[in-house]
Structure 1
Amino acid sequence: MPKESSRRRQLIAQSLCAAVLLVSGLHAQAQTTVFRVTAIPDESPTELARKAAPLMRYIEAQLGNGVKVEYTPVTDYAAAVEALVNKKVDMAWFGGFTFVQANVRSGGKIIPLVQREEDSKFRSVFITADPSIKSLADLKGRDVSFGSQSSTSGHLMPRNFVLQAGLSPEKDFRRVAYSGAHDATIAAVAAGKVQAGALNISVWEKFVTEKKVDADKLHVFYTTPAYFDYNWSVHADMPAAQREKLKAALLNLNRDTAVGKEILDLQRATRFVPTQADNYKGIEAAARSAGLL
């Protein structure tokens, strides 16, 4: 009997210990909230991850309270839209058109928090290696590449200004191609796969500055008028306190600190400024006019 009693006490003690460990583990899990962030894939996956890393660390530090911030890549623009609309992620980096798509898709429940100062006067460029192409009119009968079909600066707005110039891409270009991303458009033009391509001015200037393009071979022949573009957006169901905390964290980034300078340089931003849904009415109008929405 004493041996049985001792064995019973031992089993009870082991069970209690296991229960304590289980409760502790569950408590630790409950304390760790994962905050997921994504971005439209307008550049290569490695470049997007490089740009995201320091920003994710900064947001994690700003949110505090045991929140873990994770960058969640997506395969295409549509996936970024669906991820935020369906609350699979908490925040997304959208172009103007993808913001409009998400806002329409969600019934007006996507809130743009901030944009880069540069996004209030964003532009696209058309590039070529062909010296005979000097204007949009010269694109008639040529092979032309846009970026992703859902890209604001790589497709929607360049198409909008082509239409305003009296050309229809499907009727007047020999072939319309979609590279999927701005850097891929540059590569397609450089390789001679198309005679011209449209992309956002920020990526083009980065490639020129970093000497990733042969400036003697490739050149800009048309720059569009300005329009509103990229922003950081969240779902309206996010608690207002967290939304304001995020917005303040992004607005507080500045070049006077090492962290701020690193993040802003990678985001190709002077600083972040507040934005609002009404800023993107022009994008929505252009999309509806082009039959893309």
Structure 2
Amino acid sequence: MNAFAKLLTVMMIGISAGAHAATFTFTAIPDEDETKLRSRFDKVADYLETKLGVDVQYVPVKSYSAAVTAFRNNQVQLAWFGGLSGVQARRLVPGSEAIAQGYEDQFFKSYFIAHHSTGLTKQESFPAIGGYTFTFGSKDSTSGRLMPQFFIERNLGKRPDDLFKRVGFSGDHSRTVAQVEAGVYQVGAVNYKVWDSMVAEGKVDTAKVSVVWESPAYPDYQWSVRGDLDAKFGAGFKAKLTAALLEMKDPDLLASFPRQSFIPADNEDFKPVEDVAKAIGLID
């Protein structure tokens, strides 16, 4: 190979590398402890790299609002949001879309849990929890705040601050369980998936804390993408990403969510969440 051919080859390699230099980034709401989240989403990053042919990086955040901000500022192009945080993010980024959800996310639930000292037991009707101390999860959590507050107000006719001795926000579902188990709060609201997983893993002392009410179903978690995805990564990239998420079949990876599969989603699926958020004053 002569000198010109070598130079041309080097230039073409550089151009090719440059075309794929952009890193595809995604984040997720921090609904569980950071170690568990990183284990889950680093696996997702590896999976997406093999499917998309680009570098993929999971970007952890410290709060639900930070996930929304990262999405709004184009620090990430994809996010695993809860129902409310997804609605908030898509309202801030024109053209953004929900593209996939877990099968179970069509009919998600919240559990209300109580410390054994309350004497509360599981029942079909909404429990008489007024007068106790109560903790939500994150302020922007669908299953740990939005829907529980809606059910409280609908069933007991008062806002939480007027009903409970003290109201807290634990920050995530794992901490909600830990705080109610320890008696820091007497009652709390938690994502049913996190509770079921913690019980299955032996991380909950059910002699100290138990489920006292199970909510009706509502839509929750989803993968949402920015509308400018194809402009940044090339025509058809969003379709390729959507297919990769829907074709995620690895049992170990699915179990880490935990979900049995991912199915198509669109923005309209989460209109009920938006309506509830407006009804209780969390969004305009």
Provide TM-score, normalisation by structure 2.
0.89
**In 2 relative to 1, CA 23–250 (structure 1 residues): closer, same or farther, beyond 3 Å?**
closer
For 2:49, which of 42, 60, 72 is the aligned residue? Answer: 60
Match of 1:98 in 2: 85
For 2:210, which of 210, 219, 227 is the aligned residue? Answer: 219
CA distance in structure 2 between the partners assigned to 1:278 and 1:30 by the alignment: 35
Q: Deviations over 1:125-170 (max 9, x none)?
A: 0111234224644221111000000000010001111111023211
Deviation at 1:36, TM superposition (A): 0.5
Match of 1:160 in 2: 150
Alignment of structure 1 residues 128-277 onto 2, 5 Å: 128-130=114-116, 131-134=118-121, 136-165=126-155, 166-239=157-230, 241-254=236-249, 260-277=250-267
* Count of matched residue pairs: 269
Which amino acid in the other structure matches residue 118 of structure 1?
Answer: E
Match of 2:6 in 1: none
Asked if the contact 1:98/1:151 (under 8 Å) is kept, the reply is yes
Please tell me the root mean square deviation across aligned C-alpha atoms, in Å: 2.1
Asked if the contact 1:146/1:185 (under 8 Å) is kept, the reply is yes
CA distance in structure 1 between the partners assigned to 2:90 and 2:16 by the alignment: 36
% same residue: 39
Asked if the contact 1:137/1:167 (under 8 Å) is kept, the reply is no
CA distance in structure 2 between the partners assigned to 1:150 and 1:246 by the alignment: 27
Match of 1:284 in 2: 274
Q: Secondary structure at the match of 2:85?
A: helix
Give runs of ≥4 in structure 1 deviating > 6 Å: 20-27
Q: Deviations over 1:77-102 (max 9, x none)?
A: 11111111221101100000001111
Deviation at 1:33, TM superposition (A): 2.2
Query: Which blocks of at least 5 consecutive residues in structure 1 are unaligned?
Result: 1-19, 255-259
Deviation at 1:105, TM superposition (A): 2.1
Deviation at 1:23, TM superposition (A): 9.9
